[in-house]
Structure 1
């Protein structure tokens, strides 16, 4: 059984704030794999979850990164 890395969502937020597309995409794919979901479904969850982030800057960064990933066809 694979161990679940609970730090990945936080790492996704950090990569989004840093505008590091490649890192954010890699992390999103890892999260999707852990959840046994498609990347499309995981991006929807990340987008919906961003509304719960307390920092407006982080929330905006996550929304923007999710849209960037979608916009590039992933």
Structure 2
């Protein structure tokens, strides 16, 4: 089976693309509420498809919808 290697972004580039600080992105990795990532040795990398999936999964229509979703997973 042929697998295609995808382009990846480093943590700094990903943080810039998402408008987050690198520190916030690191905390998201720690708590598991950020985009999926891979480790290549010591390097953290993100696939564009995983970033797109995370953005899509965190899409809301209203602030009340966001609040309901957040309170449900934190108990």
Q: TM-score, normalised by structure 1?
A: 0.30
Give the structure with the higher percent strand: 2
The structure showing larger relative contact order (alpha-carbon pairs under 8 Å, at least 6 residues apart) is: 1
